[in-house]
Amino acid sequence: MYERTYGTDWETLEKAAATERAFALGVAAVLGKPDPDEYERILETAANSYDRSIVELAFQEGKRKASGRRAEVDQDETVWESLVEDDGPKTTVDEDDIPTGGRDGLPSALDDLDLLDRPLDDEFERERLPEFLRK
């Protein structure tokens, strides 16, 4: 089902596409068609730990929603169509609309941190000093 809907011949993925595919792989895993190699490939596209955690959360959310939907409907195709192919009960969050700080928002500690960014492939950049240690 996953290959039919998305295909696996991609080279790079945007963050939104990686999240969507991870959600679909979570649904497929519950339906008995897991693809751990594809999931690992998607995780490798994440630019930093924050993006990786978003992809992992999308995978877990796909599993959770598929488990709940499977309890209602017995057919795998119906579950797949309602969660992945249709514009059904998917949840999307626009990152610009996420409140931070203040009484009603998320704590500022949940904002992006550059501490978790992966080092660049350049040999000198791997050994870079943090900003607060530079003169």
Tens digits of residue pLDDT in 89-98: 444 555 565 5
Nearest to 42 by CA among 28, 31, 57, 52: 52
Residue range 98-126: mean pLDDT, rounded:
57
pLDDT the model gives residue 88: 41
- What is the tens place of the pLDDT at every residue in 50-95? 889 999 999 999 898 888 887 787 788 888 888 887 754 444 555 5
Cα separation of 114 and 50, whole Å? 9
